[in-house]
Chains A and B, each alone.
Chain A
Amino acid sequence: MADAPLMEIEDLGLSYATEQGTLRAVDGVDLALHRGEALAVLGESGCGKSSLAKTLLRTLPRNAYPPTGQLRLQGREVLGLPEERFRREVRWVRIALVMQAAMNALNPVVRVGEQVAEPLRIHRRASRRQARQRAAEAFEEVGIPTDFLRRYPHELSGGMRQRAVLAMALVTEPDLVLLDEPTSALDVLTQASIMNVLKRIKHERGVSFVFITHDVATASELADRVALMYAGQVVEAASARAFFDEPAHPYSRLLMAAVPRLHQERPPSPIPGRPPSLLDPPAGCRFAERCPWAFERCGEPPPMAPCGERHHARCWLHPGLGGER
């Protein structure tokens, strides 16, 4: 089973009960991630990317229905595990999380060193001394001086806190680190240095990442593969090279053209319209309403069609589905 993907998501669905009815936040998502890969899950607000992240770690709010579909880690289905076993065997053991607001992830009255060591004490039953030793190593790895171990979160700058949270995620040596907008609250220079740390760790340790972000440029800083989400569905999944150079889905192309760039004479162009409501999504292609290439067939839901090696797009225009370009 050496070639089995580290993580496979199959037909994943997630709904919330709301006052207005059932909101289908994630609908039929298929994704695969190999060991050592970084997958960027890219999308604008409300596209379902954060719900997807919450489903992977099962940190869902109370109004969520139980997720449907399959989540396999190294071939083993874990979505159906009872909560206690999921906590003991998956969360923070196999999948760790780095979230956006580092201040909220840290306990303000506990020294950061102890917090970084805590997952080891709980999940790896490490002794206090071992845990402290490993925490110090993790600090060095993410670029925090080890004398910061004895400090409290408020004594750290925003960038240092985010590094501490990253150390906390790495300390148990999980297979997969889930990054939920890890740098969007940070300044440009701090953001770049955190991305540098992530790139280095990925390269040196072969850690696999799922990287949730709304920012196309940030996604390109870490991703080997990109999955673009729109209205609860993955509309394109491709290698970073194919996605950034030759995006296949109309939404991917328009989004790429909407991104302001530092060095480009042509001004970016916005995408008119807005995403459909997930309370009552259209029956056909969800992007059709905003798509300049839409035709009659788009009234039917398009499947994910192959358009290259490990490259799929959810669009009827695609040659694989008999459409013409």
Chain B
Amino acid sequence: MTTPQPSTRPPQAAPGEPLLCAEGLHTHFELRQWGFVRVGSVRAVEGVDLTLGAGEAVAVVGESGCGKSSLARTLLGLHRPTGGTVRFDGTPLNGLSGRALKRYRARVGYVQQDPYGALPPFMDIQRILAEPLIIHGVRGRAERERRIDTALAEVGLTPAADTRRKFPHQLSGGQQQRVVIARALLLRPAMIIADEPVSMLDASVRVEILELLRRVQREHRLALLYITHDLSTVRHYVDRALVMYGGRIVEQAPVTDLLARSGHPYTEALLSALGDPDADNARRQREVPGGEPPSLVHPPSGCRFHPRCPHAMQGKCEVEPPPPDFRPRADHRVACWLHE
């Protein structure tokens, strides 16, 4: 029996087909009472279409409870989608199991939000980084150490020999996140999914980690899916950004276009609620739509944003959900009836 080797080959997707392609993706979670009576479901991801090209960096922006993490976990194969398809490198993920799923996971790196929680506290860095190599059948201690050193050097944790002997608590938050990124790179993945990788870090470190992700993404031509709640951290680090609201993608565009000419009222609300540091901020009230983010158990009808939307059109927005692809510009898509 051959041990599956971690893939070192370049992405094999057919020319023209993106590396990752999700269509009509749904991830619902059943709500049960007393463990068995079904009382409803949380519709965390609802009809998401998403493509990610080899070597493309894409941000998914949304507030907590918008379904962005469920989307990430579904793409990682940690949740089984309730509906829709995901194809990675030409192969459907639905129903992957056992060895095929393991092979898939070797090709997708994962960077979590809380680096300390992501690193087992009782293992030293050497052991933490050797683990995925052992699991995915990289033979020979010397080869593993060589790979670990390369990965540590790549994320700037040099001299690697010093870092390998340390335990997670001996590293700063930024260094811990570098170890997590090194671990994600170890098996030479084709794609990295980073779920809020910098939200627990300090401002001065945040940019370092974002730059590092962008650099390795470019150098290895990785596909990067960067999940964040903070629209101000996307500009220089991704090519394209998607905005999620209530389990759906409401807008997607090249990142500078999205920031300069947003088309969806929700994106506009996010942009006007955020500000760059300025002494005048203290003297003005910001425009904020009233209300609360939608419930994913009992979502509003029609457009999920209509109860809070200043431009909602009666008789239209609350009735029919807008299709996801009105195009104010060729590469800019908005799910909003205003663009019909």
Name A's B-contacting residues (CB within 8 A): 38, 44-45, 157, 159, 187-189, 191-193, 195-196, 199-200, 214-217, 219-224, 239-241, 243-245, 254-256, 258-264, 267-271, 274
The residues in B between 181 and 214 inclusive whose CB is less than 8 angstroms from any CB of A are 202-208, 210-211
Q: Which of B64, B172, B269, B279 contacts A274 (CB 8 A)?
A: B172
Query: Which B residues lie within 8 Å of A255 (CB)?
Result: 203-204
Report whether A188 and B275 are in contact in the complex, using a CB–CB cutoff of 8 Å: no
Query: Which B residues lie within 8 Å of A44 (CB)?
Result: 202-204
Report whether A256 and B277 are in contact in the complex, using a CB–CB cutoff of 8 Å: yes
Report whether A220 and B64 are in contact in the complex, using a CB–CB cutoff of 8 Å: no
By beta carbon, the residue of chain B nearest A47 is: B202
Query: Which A residues lie within 8 Å of B273 (CB)?
Result: 188-189, 191-192
Query: Which B residues lie within 8 Å of A240 (CB)?
Result: 279, 282
The residues in B between 216 and 259 inclusive whose CB is less than 8 angstroms from any CB of A are 229-233, 235-236, 259
Question: B123 at interface (Cβ–Cβ under 8 A)?
Answer: no
Distance between Cα atoms of A244 and B281 in the complex (Å): 11
By beta carbon, the residue of chain B nearest A215 is: B203
Report whether B63 and A192 are in contact in the complex, using a CB–CB cutoff of 8 Å: no
Query: How many residues of B are counted as interface, with CB atoms below 8 angstroms from the partner's CB atoms?
Result: 41
Name B's A-contacting residues (CB within 8 A): 63-64, 172-174, 202-208, 210-211, 229-233, 235-236, 259, 269-271, 273-279, 281-283, 285-286, 288-289, 292-293
Query: Which A residues lie within 8 Å of B211 (CB)?
Result: 267, 270
Question: In whole Å, how far is A100's beta carbon from the nearest beta carbon of chain B?
Answer: 14
Report whether A267 and B236 are in contact in the complex, using a CB–CB cutoff of 8 Å: yes
Query: Which B residues lie within 8 Å of A274 (CB)?
Result: 172, 174, 205
Query: Which A residues lie within 8 Å of B64 (CB)?
Result: 187
Distance between Cα atoms of A244 and B233 in the complex (Å): 20
Query: Which A residues lie within 8 Å of B203 (CB)?
Result: 44, 214-216, 255, 258-259
Report whether A270 and B205 are in contact in the complex, using a CB–CB cutoff of 8 Å: yes
Distance between Cα atoms of A263 and B210 in the complex (Å): 17
Question: In whole Å, how far is B209's beta carbon from the nearest beta carbon of chain A?
Answer: 9
Query: Which B residues lie within 8 Å of A191 (CB)?
Result: 273
Q: A-B pairs with the 7 shortest C-beta distances?
A: A192-B273, A187-B63, A44-B202, A270-B208, A271-B204, A267-B236, A240-B279
Q: Which of B208, B210, B236, B288 contacts A193 (CB 8 A)?
A: B288
Query: Which A residues lie within 8 Å of B208 (CB)?
Result: 270
Query: Which B residues lie within 8 Å of A239 (CB)?
Result: 279
Report whether A262 and B282 are in contact in the complex, using a CB–CB cutoff of 8 Å: no
Distance between Cα atoms of A44 and B172 in the complex (Å): 13
Query: Which B residues lie within 8 Å of A243 (CB)?
Result: 279
By beta carbon, the residue of chain A nearest B276 is: A261
Question: In whole Å, how far is A201's beta carbon from the nearest beta carbon of chain B?
Answer: 12
Interchain Cβ contacts under 8 Å between A and B, 23 examples: A45-B173, A189-B270, A189-B288, A192-B273, A192-B288, A199-B282, A199-B283, A217-B274, A219-B277, A220-B281, A221-B282, A222-B282, A240-B279, A244-B277, A258-B206, A260-B206, A260-B210, A260-B235, A262-B274, A264-B276, A269-B207, A270-B204, A270-B211
